[in-house]
Amino acid sequence: MGLFDGKKGLVVGVANDHSIAWAIAEYVMAEGALCGFTHLPDRPDDKRQRNRRRVALLTDKAENARFLVPLDVSDDDQIAEVVKTTQQEFGTIDFLVHSVAFAPLEDLKVDTIQTSRAGFKLAMEISAYSLIALANAFQPVLNDGGSIVAMTYFGGEKAVPGYNVMGICKAALDSTVKYLAYDLGPRQIRVNAVSAGPLRTLAGRGAGVDDMLTLYEKMAPMGRNITHEEVGRAAGFLLSDMASGITGEILHVDAGYNIMGSPGRLVEQYRQ
């Protein structure tokens, strides 16, 4: 018996095999879940359909992957189409994974104070409002007692130089998780987020993940970085019935980095 036997869900945010969303999907599918997937729409002039192809390379080999459709989370019509497809394939679902974030590189690479108005709006829409849009659209399809999990980062709680405008977006996402948890609580639908430490992902490259990996290894109580598999299992726990009494929470999977109030063992190398 798998933890997710008889469960069905939608995973939004897989870009390639390094995506956190894929780590989550691998775990829940291994535990028996049937999953639908979305991918970033390809440009009309992209005859190779690179975005779809990268995700299809994964889902085509996964026995429990049932469909793959394009989704731009800033387009309500596309969201409605994904809801329709999900309903046709599954009827209803038990869980929804939101692993979506974006900021224009020209805004992410400058100090927060220099963020453009247009870049701020776009980053907020994709990275935070999209959780509201998806949760609302999927209300008729998401079973009572279901679960929604989003992906966040510590940069939404404390200032992390280099994370810049995305940190503001994650702060908004963290708050959104709590308000959605309240709104959906009467139906026993839980909304939580996993705050993962730095991982080498497509999005992580734009946020200076290599420097973060070095810092976390030196500062975290466990003296190491985390793995994709650890995040996948933690998110799977929150999606499962084992977390039936947990909602509105931000679960840190960062080897303990978030608890530190000083550089910890990192300071030892500066001692004379």
Q: How do residues 61-74 score in pLDDT, each as one tens digit?
A: 999 999 999 999 99
Residue 269 lies in a domain: no
- The neighbour count for residue 272, using CB atoms within 10 Å, is 2
- The neighbour count for residue 235, using CB atoms within 10 Å, is 30
Residue 237 lies in a domain: yes
Q: What is the CATH number of the domain that holds 247?
A: 3.40.50.720
163 is catalytic: yes
Say what the pTM is: 0.94
Residue 206 lies in a domain: yes
- Per-residue pLDDT band for 269 (boundaries 50, 70, 90) equals confident
Q: How do residues 82-104 score in pLDDT, each as one tens digit?
A: 999 999 999 999 999 999 999 99
Judge contact between 152 and 174, C-beta under 8 A. yes
Residue 82 lies in a domain: yes
Number of domains comprising the chain: 1
Residue 31 lies in a domain: yes
Judge contact between 175 and 129, C-beta under 8 A. no
Q: 67: which strand partners?
A: 36
Residue 3 lies in a domain: no
| Concatenated DSSP letters of 128-154 | IIHHHHHHHHTTTTEEEEEEEEEEE-G
What letter would DSSP give residue 185? G
Q: How do residues 215-245 score in pLDDT, each as one tens digit?
A: 899 999 999 999 999 999 999 999 999 999 9
Structural domain of 57: 8-264
Spell out the residues 6+ positions from residue 138 whose beta carbon is closer than 8 angstroms to its own. Answer: 10, 83, 86, 93, 96
Residue 167 lies in a domain: yes
Q: Give CA–CA dist 107/29, Å, rounded.
A: 36
pLDDT (0 to 100) of residue 114: 98
Residue 271 lies in a domain: no
179 is catalytic: no
**Active-site annotation holder among 27, 129, 153, 270:** 153
pLDDT (0 to 100) of residue 17: 94
**Active-site annotation holder among 27, 163, 216, 257:** 163
Q: How do residues 6-52 score in pLDDT, each as one tens digit?
A: 999 999 999 999 999 999 999 999 999 999 999 999 988 887 899 99
